[in-house]
Amino acid sequence: MGVLPLQFTEGNNPQSLGLDGSESFDIVGMNDGAAREVEVIATHDSGKETAFTARVLLLTPKEVEYFRHGGILNYVLRQLAAK
């Protein structure tokens, strides 16, 4: 597991969406690393959900490959195990 870099779309930011950092996030539509945008569902402590679209910032083919392997560590371990 790693960190998936996302960027708010134009006009959205934490303040406009009512996000304070205490939410948990679900990312929908990021199956194989090829998606350019995903739906993010932020669940607040109260149970309220806020959905918004975000840009995926996997910018190079290598970053997509790392994502598909579950992160750079898994990628490296698989490369070593294949030798």
Mean pLDDT of 22-41: 91
Contact 52, 14 (CB under 8 A): no
- Determine the 3-state secondary structure of 43 from DSSP: strand
The domain limits of the chain are: 6-81
| Side chain identity at residue 40, one-letter code | V
AA letter at 73: L
User: How far is residue 22's CA from residue 4's CA, in Å, rounded to a whole number?
Assistant: 18
pTM of the model: 0.81
Average the pLDDT over 57-75 and give the result: 90
Residue with token string 């959900």: 49
